[in-house]
């Protein structure tokens, strides 16, 4: 059996926009400050998709979903991840597991990680782990300017 590992990263800054909602791992966090982005700015789902593309050596998210076109404007990133899973499985790969570290000081993610893991896991067809991590006041994330996410994905065929 062949195995490949991929690393994904994404970062989005917070924005004050009453028309946007904070979406992380496909879960809407009502009443929380949203992130800026062309799509729904789901930084967790983007990092997972990026890791899967990387594992299959299929390039990065920007290549498949350019943020210049109208197709993915305000898009549900779960649809984007579903398309990435389709591309990866088209190459004969299946996902073994995904692990994410979400770096943010606020809001508290712990009450939502189970829902995120379930939603993402159903989409990729494998266990997905989501671990929140505080920036301890350091740098842009520590100043509450945005949220970053790292993800590692293992695929096999």
Applying CB under 5 A, the site for Zn ion has a residue count of 2
Residue of closest CB approach to Zn ion: 46
* Residue owning tokens 């782990």: 129
Among positions 14, 27, 46, 48, the unique one binding Zn ion when judged by CB under 5 A: 46
Q: Does 81 bind Zn ion (CB under 5 A)?
A: no
Instruction: Choose between 62 and 92: whose C-beta lies nearer to Zn ion.
Output: 62
Question: Closest distance between Zn ion and the C-beta of residue 49, in Å?
Answer: 9
15-20: long-range pairs with CB below 8 Å, 24+: none
d(CA 153, CA 127): 10
Contact region for Zn ion (CB under 5 A) — 6-14, 94-102, 125-133, 142-150? 6-14
Q: Which stretch binds Zn ion (CB under 5 A): 10-18, 94-102, 109-117, 128-136?
A: 10-18
Considering only 8, 10, 49, 98, the residue that binds Zn ion (CB under 5 A) is 10
Give the C-alpha distances (Å, rounded to integers) separating 8 from 53, 101, 105: 8, 10, 20
Cβ 116 to Zn ion, closest distance in Å? 15
Centroid of chain to Cα 151? 8
Footprint of Zn ion on this chain (CB under 5 A)? Answer: 10, 46
């Amino acid at each position: 059996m062949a195995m490949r590992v991929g690393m994904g990263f994404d970062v989005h800054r917070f924005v004050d926009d009453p028309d946007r909602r904070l979406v992380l791992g496909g879960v809407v966090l009502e009443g929380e400050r949203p992130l800026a982005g062309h799509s729904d700015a789901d930084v967790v789902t983007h990092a997972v998709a990026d890791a899967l593309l990387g594992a299959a050596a299929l390039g990065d998210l920007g290549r498949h979903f350019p943020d210049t076109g109208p197709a993915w404007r305000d898009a549900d990133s779960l649809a984007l991840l579903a398309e990435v899973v389709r591309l990866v499985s088209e190459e004969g790969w299946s996902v073994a597991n995904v692990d994410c570290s979400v770096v943010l000081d606020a809001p508290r993610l712990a009450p939502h990680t189970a829902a995120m893991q379930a939603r993402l896991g159903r989409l990729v067809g494998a266990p997905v782990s989501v671990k929140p991590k505080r920036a301890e006041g350091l740098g842009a994330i520590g100043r509450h300017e945005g949220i970053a996410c790292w993800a590692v994905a293992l695929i096999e065929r």
